[in-house]
Structure 1
Amino acid sequence: MASHRKLRAAAVVCAAVAVAGPAPAVARAAPPAAVGAPAPAPSPDPFANLTPDEIADRAVAATQSATSLRMTGRVTADGEPLDIDFAVNDRQECTGVMRIGGGTAELRRVDDITYMKGDEAFWRVSMASQGMPEPQIDATIELIKGRWLKIAPGQAGSGDLGGVCDLKGLLADLDEDEEQRSGLVRGPDGELDGTPVATLVKKKTGGETTGGETPGGETPRPETTTVSVSEEGKPYILKMVKTGGDEPGSMVLSDYDKPVKVVVPPADETVDLSKLDQGTPA
Structure 2
Amino acid sequence: MTAFPPAARTRRAACAGMLGAALAVSLVACGGDPDAGTNGVGKLSAQEIETQARKAVDGAHAVRVAGTLVSKGGSYKLDMQLTSNGGTGSVTSKNSTFELLRIDDALYVKAPADFWRQADGEGGATAAEKLDDKYVKVPKGDPAYDQFRGFTDMTALLDGLLGLRGSLDKGDHTKVAGVRAIQITGSAGSRLDVSLKGTPYPLRLERAGDAGELRLADWNKQFALTAPSKNDTVDYGRQLPKT
Per the shorter chain, which TM-score range? Answer: 0.7 to 0.9
When structure 1 is superposed on structure 2, of 134-143 and 57-66 the one drifting more is 134-143
Alignment partner of 1:195 is 2:179: yes
**Per the alignment, do residues 141 and 83 of structure 1 end up closer, same or farther by CA in structure 2, a change over 3 Å counting?**
same
How far apart are the structure 1 equivalents of 2:161 and 2:100?
A: 24
Q: Output the TM-score relative to the length of structure 1.
A: 0.64
Identity of aligned residues (%): 24
**Per the alignment, do residues 183 and 78 of structure 1 end up closer, same or farther by CA in structure 2, a change over 3 Å counting?**
closer
Corresponding residue number in structure 2 for 1:259:
222
**Per the alignment, do residues 119 and 168 of structure 1 end up closer, same or farther by CA in structure 2, a change over 3 Å counting?**
same
Corresponding residue number in structure 2 for 1:75:
69
- Output the amino acid matched with 2:101: R
SS in 2 for 1:83: strand
Corresponding residue number in structure 1 for 2:156:
169
Q: Output the TM-score relative to the length of structure 2.
A: 0.73
Larger relative contact order (C-alpha < 8 A, sep ≥ 6)? Answer: 1
| CA-to-aligned-CA distance 1:90-115 (integer Å, 9 cap, x gap) | 12x21101111242111111253222
How far apart are the structure 2 equivalents of 1:105 and 1:174?
A: 22
| Structure 1 position 139, deviation (Å) | 5.0
How far apart are the structure 2 equivalents of 1:160 and 1:50?
A: 37
Does the CA-based 8 Å contact 1:152-1:158 persist in structure 2?
yes
Alignment partner of 1:117 is 2:110: yes
- Output the amino acid matched with 1:123: W
**Per the alignment, do residues 192 and 103 of structure 1 end up closer, same or farther by CA in structure 2, a change over 3 Å counting?**
same
Corresponding residue number in structure 2 for 1:15:
none
When structure 1 is superposed on structure 2, of 57-66 and 143-152 the one drifting more is 143-152
- Output the amino acid matched with 1:67: H
- Output the amino acid matched with 1:150: K
- Output the amino acid matched with 1:100: S
Q: How does 1:118-197 map to 2 (within 5 A)?
A: 118-125=111-118, 127=119, 134-135=121-122, 137-138=124-125, 140-154=127-141, 157-173=144-160, 180=165, 182-197=166-181
Corresponding residue number in structure 1 for 2:12:
none
SS in 2 for 1:189: strand
| CA-to-aligned-CA distance 1:90-145 (integer Å, 9 cap, x gap) | 12x211011112421111112532221112343355x3xxxx6x355445423312
* Corresponding residue pairs, total: 211
For the aligned residue pairs, the C-alpha RMSD in angstroms reads 3.0
Alignment partner of 1:90 is 2:68: no
SS in 1 for 2:227: coil
- Output the amino acid matched with 1:87: Q
Does the CA-based 8 Å contact 1:88-1:260 persist in structure 2?
no
SS in 1 for 2:238: helix
**Per the alignment, do residues 79 and 173 of structure 1 end up closer, same or farther by CA in structure 2, a change over 3 Å counting?**
closer
How far apart are the structure 1 equivalents of 2:54 and 2:135?
A: 35
How far apart are the structure 1 equivalents of 2:104 and 2:42?
A: 44
Corresponding residue number in structure 2 for 1:20:
none
Corresponding residue number in structure 2 for 1:277:
238
Consecutive unaligned residues in structure 2, runs of 5 or more: 1-22
Corresponding residue number in structure 2 for 1:240:
205
When structure 1 is superposed on structure 2, of 106-115 and 136-145 the one drifting more is 136-145
How far apart are the structure 2 equivalents of 1:262 and 1:186?
A: 38
SS in 1 for 2:107: strand
| Structure 1 position 254, deviation (Å) | 0.7
Instruction: Specify which of 47, 50, 54 is matched with residue 44 of structure 2.
Output: 50
